[in-house]
Amino acid sequence: MTILDPVPQNMIIFKSMEAKNTRWTWRVTSGLVIIFWLVMMGLLLNRYHIAPVNISKIFHTPLKNKEEWASIYLHNQKVGYSVTTVTKNEGGYLLGEQTFMQLRVMDQPQQVTTYTICQVDDDFLLKSFNFRLVSGLITFSAEGEVKGHKLDLTVETGGEKSRKEIPVPQIPFLSSALKPFLVHRGIKVGDHYKLPLWDPATQSYRIITVHVEKKEPIILNNQSFECFCIRTDLMGMTLRSWISEDGDLLKEEGPMGIIIVKSTKEEALSDITTESLDILSTISIPCSPIERPRMSKYLKIRLSGLPLTGFDLDSGRQTVKGDTLVVVQEIIKQEGSYQIPNRNQLYIDYLQPSLLIQSNHPEIIKAAQGIIGDERNSVKVAQLLTQWVYSHIEKKPVLSIPSALEVLKQKVGDCNEHSALLTALLRAVGIPARPCVGILYSEGRFYYHAWVEAFLGDWVSIDPVLNQIPADATHIKFIEGDLSRQVEMLRVVGKIRVEVIA
């Protein structure tokens, strides 16, 4: 791949990018899609390859009931363990869960920690929860309490707390409550449930379907166990579980080669590999080569493997007809620019702060104003902010929940962190902006990626990892919006196929 070709007149690139293929590839790859995948499967991650931290010490709540341990495998390689607890108390039940996983992401070793503890009622419906995710230097915490049909949510990231009330049509479950709920109700073949699920990491409310398909024997440690086979479906992902007649979870199989098997504590903690497969490479999408992709202004592809409804594929520079998608790179028109701040009420939603896009935080505002100085032309301001993010954020894979304030402080991350920070900086100076997720071509494959769209007279795609305004035409947007929408990319992972036409 050549990255020093002449730059098209309508594309702004401030300095050449490195030509090292390995470094280039992980720059464009989204670690957030792994977090979506793991969290939605109820896998709660720990970062230390040692005995697990006692959950009761983290959240100052006594947990006394028995622990259930499991080993986690990815493509037949052991990558971690999980431990869960259930305790009866006056309010119902106290549930704790913790899991360790050690993964390789673009040849970079990654360890991620999450802990969850939640109070549920006697029917295992959520009353309150604490959640923490730690990845390297990055920590994300959330706690919430159900009040009627609202969830009072507090998020802590970047050393700051933010609070928000989120409407919930029905009182939800957490994923850790699903198995005890089924066991408590009594499992019967043919049982079918549609249950509201709250995910604290992605701040999303979804309906999950659970179906007890059949009873069948499985072999575990050379012993045969009669089990209920249970299918769980969420956003196009299918998870199968085998639960014994005694209510023990013996085995789970999830997307993309992940298997969880009941173990003793000693078995769970031992023999965790440090040389697992690179997970992002295993979920990338092969295709025919595209010449000079970073210079591309036009792309025509055919998408297959899943229904294309419910995505933001047919918008802006992208048009869809049937299964064929065409991307035509935008042309930035200086005459269409404006003096910031943008005061058009049509775009007010794209100027608002959120729990993770903290555009109203004094540190974000101060940074943005310091970058742009006296410049007020919207196009030139966007160029300055993009250049700054490109130059000042170390490009390193991160498995965490992207927070603009955290990125500003730590100055490290992959495409998700770059996009979160740039979105916040743009909004802070009065330029409507929204994060986007989709796929991006590199070296014969499409990888999951995140970038930004900013309103500069028209909506323009901006890639702060590649320092592109507008982004090249191999950026295929599937979703625009915040984290609760981005999680819908789970419908794509492991299913989408791409055929390059032109």
Buried b (16+ CB within 10 A) or exposed e, 393-425: bebbbbbbbbbbbbbbbbebbbbbbbbbbbbbb
pLDDT at 40 over 70: no
Lowest mean pLDDT among 17-21, 40-44, 457-461, 484-488: 17-21
Mean pLDDT for 476-501 is 90
The per-residue pLDDT for range 220-277, each reduced to its tens digit, is 888 999 999 999 988 778 889 999 888 888 999 887 788 899 999 999 989 888 776 7
Mean pLDDT for 310-336 is 93
pLDDT at 23 over 70: no
The per-residue pLDDT of the chain, averaged, comes to 84
Q: What is the pLDDT of residue 103?
A: 81
Domains and CATH numbers, the chain: 12-29+285-500 (3.10.620.30), 33-279 (no CATH)
What's the pTM value of the predicted model, to 2 decimals?
0.83
User: Which run of H or E residues covers position 117?
Assistant: strand 108-120
CA distances for 303 relative to 159, 320, 450, 485, 486, angstroms: 42, 10, 19, 21, 19
The per-residue pLDDT for range 419-476, each reduced to its tens digit, is 999 999 999 999 999 999 999 999 999 999 999 999 999 999 999 999 999 999 999 9
- Non-local (6+) Cβ contacts of 59 within 8 A are 115, 117, 130
Q: What is the pLDDT of residue 487?
A: 82
pLDDT at 67 over 70: yes
Q: What is the pLDDT of residue 21?
A: 40
Lowest mean pLDDT among 103-117, 176-190, 303-317: 103-117
Q: Both tokens of residue 49?
A: 């390859």
CA gap 78, 71 in Å, rounded: 7
Q: What is the pLDDT of residue 228?
A: 94
User: Which run of H or E residues covers position 72?
Assistant: strand 67-74
If one compares 348 and 279, the residue with the highest pLDDT of the two is 348
Q: Both tokens of residue 197?
A: 């699920």
